[in-house]
Structure 1
Amino acid sequence: IAEVCSPALNEGLLTANERLYNHLLYGISVTEFVDGKKASPTVALIDWQNPTNNSFVFTEEFTVTRYGGVESRRPDIVCFVNGIPLVVIEAKRPDGNAKKGPTIDEGISQSLRNQRHDEIPLLFAYSQMLLSINGNEGRYGTCGTPSKFWAAWREEDISDAEMYAIKNKTLKDEQLTNLFNHRPAKDLDWYLSLTAAGELAVTGQDQLLISLLSPVRLLEMTRYFTLFDKKAGKIVARYQQVFGIKRLIERINTRSVTGGREGGVIWHTTGSGKSFTMVFLSKALILHESLKQCRIVVVTDRVDLETQLSKTFASGGELAGKKDKEAAMATSGKRLAQQIGKGTERIIFSLIQKFNTATKMPECVNNSSDIIVLIDEGHRSQGGENHIRMKQALPNAAFVAFTGTPLLKDDKTTNKFGPIVHAYTMQRAVEDQTVTPLLYEERIPDLDVNERAIDSWFERITEGLSEEQKADLKRKFAKKGQV
């Protein structure tokens, strides 16, 4: 309890948040003496396996004393799991004052203000999810997320009908008492007349709350889809990353007739965070019971891509130190062959070209189905021999291709790697304001032929040819296009 109650903020909020996050994930080991013997049990703060075994409580107007100890701040709603405040919600009125801008932004800026070191940073040392809602819509971020990266959510797993049922569920008398007993009587009358008037429609705010705060999903987002990156800070996944990985894990868990794992294509448009999706995936693989023994081979076709990805993995904590990173790099075809055949590294990085040399060596074969090959920019260099060699070396592996390039119907990428497992299209990304729209117009260039120059050039180059030969050449090159 002492460890949980006093996060050290001397190295900054993010470091404190990461420490507590690790405690949440792995528990806190305690040393004590039981019957004169030293014991070091690990006390779990959250039961990840059985979500219902945890306590989920929320409160409103939660008062926290400011850092200086004089005034206090009151975040609108705080949600506690086992007494730890994991979610902080700023709720604004839908209209706002006429002079102020959109109310969602107001909630975000309050959240950012409260995280400052002279405000109430202690509360945010625990937080995993921060929400800003205004009755109609909502956006979410996490500790330290700059305002432009607060994102909307689109649900792909919970149907509209299910959401509708949750929204219109009748509250028990006990729940009504808890919600309205401390308020003026007119608030309860307002609520009763609102619900008596008929079913309520589901708003964007409802979707966000149901999608992110149903107990199972909240624990899932915290455990699998939260990442500390040395450069970008703390990241919580966007919806396309969450559903892309969920579909992918279902797919990898499917076995083909020969006993190998199935793969597929993830088509996420440029700028939607494919490198982070790969890191989230590798984190999810470690934590999934059925997949934690898997090894990952990351294949790219450009050195700068390889560097970028390995840096993302390293700063996301998947490669612990320099040693790990060096061990993961396939520096040559020979090294790659050893890594595939005999190695035990959890993650290997290789350029596709290295398979060419590697697969010629006898040791470069691994029939294990516990290998997952992630191929970046899967549409580009996967043609021909390299691809076939790679498949021969790893006959039962799951091949997953990531691409940001729209795939055509008869495109090779999908046939090679299997079906499209998840798509996040350019249009969707523009609607979500994740990327700016790409506009182009087609123009036909004006062609202008300078006859005199061409004639004199023709005379010069055909010196020494007979008249018939000249005429023949002229006929061949009479068209503008050829000129």
Structure 2
Amino acid sequence: DKTVTPLLYEERIPDLSTNDKAIDAWFDRITDKLSDKQRTDLKRKFSQKGQIYQTEGRIELIAHDISDHFQNFKRQGLKGQLACDSKASAIQYKKLLDKIGKVTSVVAMSAPDTREGHDTVDGESSDAVQNWWKANIVDAGYGQDEKAYTKHIISEFSKDEGPDLMIVVDKLLTGFDEPKNTVLYIDKPLKQHNLIQAIARVNRLHQKKQFGYLIDYRGILKELDATIADYQDLAERTQAGFDIEDLKGLYSRMDTEYKKLPGLFSDLWTIFDGVKNKQDGPALRQVLSPKIDTIDGQLTDTNLKMREDFYDALTVFANCMKVALQSATYFEDKSFDVIDPNTSLDKRSLYKKTLKFMSELRKQVREDAEETVDYDEYAENIRTMLDKHIGGVEIQESKGAYLVGNMGKTAMPEDMSDDEARNKKDAITGRITKMIDQDLADDPYAQEYFSNLLKQAIDKTKEMFDAPVKQYLLFADFEEQVKERKVEGIPIDRFSELDPKVKRHVQAYYGLFLKHLASGNTLTEDECFNSAILIDEIVTGAVAEFSINPQEIENQIKRKLLPVLFKTIGMDKAKVVIADVVQITRLGVAGHH
């Protein structure tokens, strides 16, 4: 519609050479004195930290590829972004791009700070990150004013003579628009809302742009296809076009998410209500560290529940902080400028300091409980070992560009390669699973029916392992069945004359009779249909009459339905059907009323 630029997606996966024997031998050697639990923990952390993605050989290979790929855009005066998964990688990319010398770049990231899921500062080489931050921000005239630095690099990026690329980690994938921004190089996992928001950075109109480009070094095609399909489904239901604002009703809004921080901050500290001095680290640690006592003759850790509650509260708080740091609105919200009287810090600084402190506390407590091994002891050796034994070979030859607007739609099977068919089948499987879990929650019979069919379809594809196109066709057909709710035993034609909003609800109620009267069903098709219509009328009336009192809605449904259903299916069956009707109503199946 000429309001945004079409997007092209291209996958450029780096080929790496790995010395698997050397890596396995190193792990066996280094973990020889660890317990099984600690050995498992070290391998889990090694996997979670994505160390292979951060190896020097891989990043150097991609840096050369970006430097060459961007030349045509550079000549046109256009800009690009490189999205990384860690501050250490961003700094490494910056150094390598500068060394290669074909493109100029600037790094946008938040101040170094302990994050959820990591046991070192930023989960990275903390010295390298801290040193870079000090040299380029603190000692460069910005001091600790992160907002001033961010404002400056955005301003420079928008200038024709400014940097070609902006390297981003946890900031500026969202919250700012630059029409010249044309290429997004992706070297981090992106999902759903964040993925849509990120790709929208390069779809703004500009006279020199025919397309916006997504260059993927991480293999996010499956996630992109599923996300676009979700978006297109939303667009169809709202009769809207490709407007990012439409997603506000589907995904949690960033400005809503970060406003949860004060409550989550309070929840976290509630765990330590019994500690008078909240600055007393050892006292806080004592609340959580193992305390073994004998209860009913069994040795029991009486602090285990407290420790688990702490882990959960910290996880939720830290995840919310991650979302907040991606939102420009969070940094502009004046309510977070308020100074805390106990610490003399504004709320943003207080939350960051608390997260760092609590993450360190969790690390200590996990070691007290022998739940983990200190990753810091191995981190540098792991980095050195991987840099030595993993090298970048070449970027895989691209299979061509995909028009993002066509993703999520059915392609002609005869045009598909085996790999494309497998990717499409995997994407469809993800969408079907989501539809069954979420979209069919208001139709228990259809949900159970399609769950069983999905298991059968997955088993069937195992027999077609050498025929990926046939697998794709099987799942493409299955997806259409789920979308249209074509359930065996449901007389679809009977519902065709109903208002579309009513049809879905009546079909769900009809399915309840098939679900609960499967054996010995004495009701005819007409009786099931008429009863389903009656249930919908009763639910409609209850919602209309008691719209502000959910409990009374449920009471009214039970009062009206019980005598009617008792006559046709008996007391026991009536109760279970009514329970499902109430649950469906809670899920919003009566939302049209």
Fold conserved between structures, TM > 0.5: no
Q: Using structure 1 for the length normalisation, give the TM-score.
A: 0.28
Q: Which has the higher helix share?
A: 2
Q: Which has the higher strand share?
A: 1
